[in-house]
Amino acid sequence: MGAPGAPARKRGEPDAKITDLLKPEGIKVGATAKSQDDAIDQLIALQDASGNIGDTVAYKKAILAREEEFSTAVGDGIAIPHAKTSAVKRPGLAAMTVPGGVEWSAPDDAPADLMFMIAAPEGQNNTHLEMLAQLSKLLMHQEFADALRAAKTPEEFCSVIDRAEAEREAADAAKAAPEAVAAAGYPEVLAITACPTGIAHTYMAAENLEKKAKEMGVTLKAETQGSAGAKNVLTADEIAHAKGIIIAADKNVDRARFGGKQVLSTNVSAGINEPRSSSRPSSTARRPSRRAPRSRQQRPRARRTPPGT
CA atoms within 13 A on the CB side of 105: 18
> DSSP assignment, residue 122?
T
- Residue of 249, 164, 248, 168 lying closest to 213 (CA atoms): 248
**Helix, strand or coil for residue 194?**
strand
β-strand partners of 230: 225
Provide the pairing of β-strand 78-79 with 73-75.
antiparallel
Which backbone phi and psi does 235 adopt, to 5 degrees? -95, 165
Which strands form 220-226's sheet, in the order they lie side by side? 229-231, 220-226, 189-194, 244-249, 263-266, 290-291
Amino acid type, 11? R
Count the neighbouring beta carbons within 10 Å of the beta carbon of residue 12.
5
* 224 CB-near residues (< 8 Å, 6+ apart): 133, 192, 193, 194, 202, 203, 206, 230, 231, 232
- Residue of 300, 309, 306 lying closest to 227 (CA atoms): 309
Active-site residues: which are they? 82, 195
**Helix, strand or coil for residue 164?**
helix
Q: Are 150 and 194 in contact (CB under 8 A)?
A: no
